[in-house]
C-alpha cells in the first residue's frame, strides 16, 4: 500500500484480511457488539476469532497470543482526582507476546496515550486507535450503523494497518481515512482521534447543561420550555440532540461516559496549565478561562442533581438499574408530597 493511499483495498490487503486472526480483550458494552459483528461475518471462536475477559462469569478465556489483530476494549475508570486510569489498557498490552500484530485500542484514553504506548511497547506490534461511539441502550445499532468510523495510527510504521482494520469494521458515512464506497476522506493520527472522542463527550455534557439552564429560565418566566426548545433546535446548526431535559427521568447528565470523560479532561487541563505556568507562558491565563468553563459545567450539573436528591455516582449505572432507581425515587417523592 502506497503512503497516503487509503482509497483502495488491493489484492495484497484482501489476502491479508483473509489471514487475519482477530482477538478481543474485554467483552463488555464495547467488546460485545464487536464480537457479535465478527461472528455474524462468519468468523469462528477458536479458529479466527479469540475472545478474552478477566471476569470469570463471562467465560471468555481464548488464547489471544494466536491473533494478529487485537482490539482492546477494557475499562478506563477514573482515578481519585478524576483523571483517566489507563492502567488496565497498558496491563493487557504488556502481557501480549512480542510480534508483528496490530493492537487496536477502542477504550477511551487521554490524548497522547496510544502514541506513548507504541513507543513503550514497540516490540508488541503496531498501534492504532479506533474510538467507539456507542450508547448502552442501542449499542448494537450504534455499532453497525456508525456516523463515524475512525482508525488512526500512532506512528508512520503503524499506518500500513489502517485500511486493513478499517475494512474489518462497519462502514460509516464518515470514515477516517476512508475506503471505497464512503466519503469524507480525512487521515488523522491517534492523538487527534483521542482528543476528538473527549471533545465530543465534553460537548454533549456541555449541551445538556446549557439546555437545562434554558429550562431554568423558562420556569422562572413561566413559559413552555418545549416550545422554546423547538424554536432553537430547528436551526440546523444546533439540532435537538441532548436537549430533552427529562431524558432518563432526571435532569442533568450522568452515565458511564459524560461525567468520567469530563472529569478526565478537567484533570488533564490542570496538567496543561501547570506546564504553561512553569514555562511562564502568558497563554496560561487564557487557557485557564477556557478550562473553568468545563468546571462550571460540572459544578452546575452536580448542583442540579443534588436539587433532585441525586448524585452522579448514584445514577451512573446500567440502564435497567437506573429505571429502578428513578421509579423508587419518584415513588418516595409522591409519598412525601402526598
Of 161, 163, 166, nearest to 149 by C-alpha is: 166
Q: 68: left (phi > 0), else alpha (psi -120 to 50), else beta? A: alpha
Q: Cβ distance 149 to 176 under 8 Å?
A: yes
Q: Catalytic one among 51, 73, 102, 257?
A: 257
- To the nearest 10 degrees (0 to 180), the angle between helices 190-221 and 283-307 is 50
Q: Cβ distance 77 to 264 under 8 Å?
A: no
For residue 82, the surrounding DSSP H or E stretch is none
In 10 A of CB 317, how many CB atoms? 15
For residue 148, the surrounding DSSP H or E stretch is strand 148-150
Cell of 2: 502506497
CA angle 298, 301, 304 (to 5 degrees): 150
CA angle 253, 254, 260 (to 5 degrees): 115
SS3 sequence of 97-147: CCCCCEEEECCCCCCCHHHHHHHHCHHHCEEEECCCCCCHHHHHHHHHCCC
The DSSP code for 78 is B
257 is catalytic: yes
Q: CA-based diameter of the chain, in Å? A: 72
Active-site residues, by number, are 257
Amino acid at each position: 500500500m502506497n503512503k497516503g493511499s487509503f482509497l483502495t483495498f488491493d489484492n495484497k490487503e484482501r489476502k491479508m484480511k483473509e489471514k487475519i486472526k482477530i482477538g478481543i480483550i474485554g467483552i463488555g458494552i464495547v467488546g460485545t457488539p464487536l464480537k457479535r459483528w465478527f461472528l455474524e461475518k462468519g468468523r469462528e471462536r477458536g479458529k479466527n476469532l479469540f475472545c478474552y475477559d478477566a471476569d470469570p462469569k463471562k467465560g471468555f478465556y481464548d488464547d489471544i497470543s494466536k491473533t494478529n489483530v487485537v482490539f482492546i476494549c477494557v475499562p478506563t475508570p477514573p482515578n481519585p482526582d478524576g483523571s483517566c486510569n489507563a492502567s488496565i489498557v497498558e496491563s493487557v498490552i504488556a502481557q501480549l507476546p512480542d510480534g508483528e500484530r496490530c493492537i487496536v485500542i477502542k477504550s477511551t484514553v487521554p490524548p497522547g496515550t496510544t502514541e506513548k504506548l507504541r513507543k513503550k511497547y514497540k516490540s508488541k506490534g503496531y498501534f492504532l486507535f479506533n474510538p467507539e461511539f456507542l450508547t448502552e441502550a442501542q449499542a448494537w445499532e450504534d455499532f453497525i450503523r456508525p456516523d463515524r468510523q475512525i482508525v488512526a495510527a500512532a506512528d508512520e510504521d503503524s499506518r500500513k494497518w489502517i485500511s486493513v482494520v478499517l475494512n474489518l469494521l462497519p462502514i460509516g458515512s464518515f470514515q477516517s481515512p476512508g475506503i471505497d464506497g464512503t466519503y469524507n476522506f480525512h487521515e488523522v493520527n491517534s492523538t487527534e482521534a483521542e482528543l476528538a472522542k473527549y471533545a465530543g463527550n465534553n460537548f454533549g455534557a456541555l449541551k445538556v447543561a446549557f439546555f437545562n439552564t434554558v429550562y431554568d429560565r423558562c420556569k422562572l418566566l413561566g413559559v413552555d420550555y418545549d416550545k422554546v426548545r423547538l424554536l432553537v433546535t430547528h436551526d440546523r446548526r444546533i439540532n435537538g440532540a441532548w436537549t430533552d431535559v427529562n431524558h432518563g427521568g432526571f435532569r442533568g447528565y450522568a452515565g458511564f461516559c459524560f461525567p468520567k470523560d469530563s472529569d478526565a479532561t478537567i484533570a488533564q487541563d490542570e496538567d496543561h496549565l501547570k506546564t504553561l505556568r512553569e514555562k511562564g507562558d502568558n497563554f496560561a491565563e487564557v487557557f485557564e478561562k477556557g478550562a473553568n468553563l468545563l468546571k462550571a459545567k460540572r459544578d452546575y450539573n452536580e448542583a442540579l442533581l443534588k436539587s433532585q436528591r441525586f448524585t452522579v455516582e448514584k445514577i451512573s449505572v446500567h440502564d435497567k438499574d437506573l429505571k429502578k432507581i428513578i421509579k423508587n425515587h419518584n415513588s418516595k417523592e409522591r409519598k412525601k408530597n402526598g
